[in-house]
Amino acid sequence: MPKFHVIAGPDATAVYPSVRKIGPADLKDVLAKGIDDFLAMPSSLVFLGMIYPIVGIFLAGYALPLLFPLMAGFALVGPFAGIGLYEISRCRELGLDTSWAHAFGVVRSHSIFSILSLGLLLLVIFAGWEFTAQSLYVGLFGTTPPESITQFITNIFDTPQGWKLIAYGTAIGFVFAVVALSISVVSFPLLLDRDVEVPVAVLTSVKAVWENPFTMALWGLIVATSLAIGFLLLFVGLAVAVPILAHSSWHLYRKVVEPVGPV
């Protein structure tokens, strides 16, 4: 694995990776490469991808009013959940073995503690979103849970409180999504690929979004739509959507962040 220290000068000033401007055509290319990675290694990816539907089904049974926030929150922690799949794409890019064992090889990464700390930050954001969503629901409907999914759907779509929940929840969720996307869209692949600190990775990710607002917004929409379809297919669709998005995220990182040495 190539390692690049981003510390230079006697005062140890961090040198931040440069980012490129990209467009919608680049997203089409990274998705094509992500699909190619998925098709090239289906056995390992199906094995890993099935973890996510299992977790999703477990979460769905946890609390019906929080089903949608849990679904939406899945996208917030997705960049961390896909770290093993980034490693598989990296190995394939370098012509190395791409067996499923490499997905767990990230625990030996030089940046494992940075990766875990940034993952913890995403979990904090996820917890904040869930707490906010629950507080909003309780504020509008009280603490009594719906008796059935039919009643829950009726409450949401056939009452003034339900439409307020949709409007406020969407607006608040958008803020959480923008924050999570901005700090994580390229930070995890960067930590895996280079010897950088968390602040450098996060600020590089924020810069990537700042330099490409429309393209990154489109990428966020692609991610959200893909995960929504996966959930609507009784979570089984996540076994395909999650690996493809994870592999595509690695190639998005390659598109956005300027290389500093041989890939």
Per-domain boundaries in the chain: 20-256
- Return per-residue pLDDT of the chain as tens, 263 residues: 444 444 444 444 567 899 999 999 999 999 999 999 988 876 555 655 566 666 655 555 556 667 777 777 778 888 888 888 898 888 888 887 776 666 666 766 778 899 999 999 999 999 999 899 989 998 998 888 777 778 888 888 889 998 999 999 999 999 999 999 999 999 999 998 988 999 999 999 999 999 999 999 999 999 989 988 887 776 677 778 888 999 999 999 999 999 875 55
Which of 206, 202, 175 is closest to 188 using CA atoms? 202
Give, rounded to a whole angstrom, the gap between the first and last alpha carbons of the chain: 9
**pLDDT of the residue at 148:** 73
pLDDT at residue number 101: 64
d(CA 147, CA 135): 19
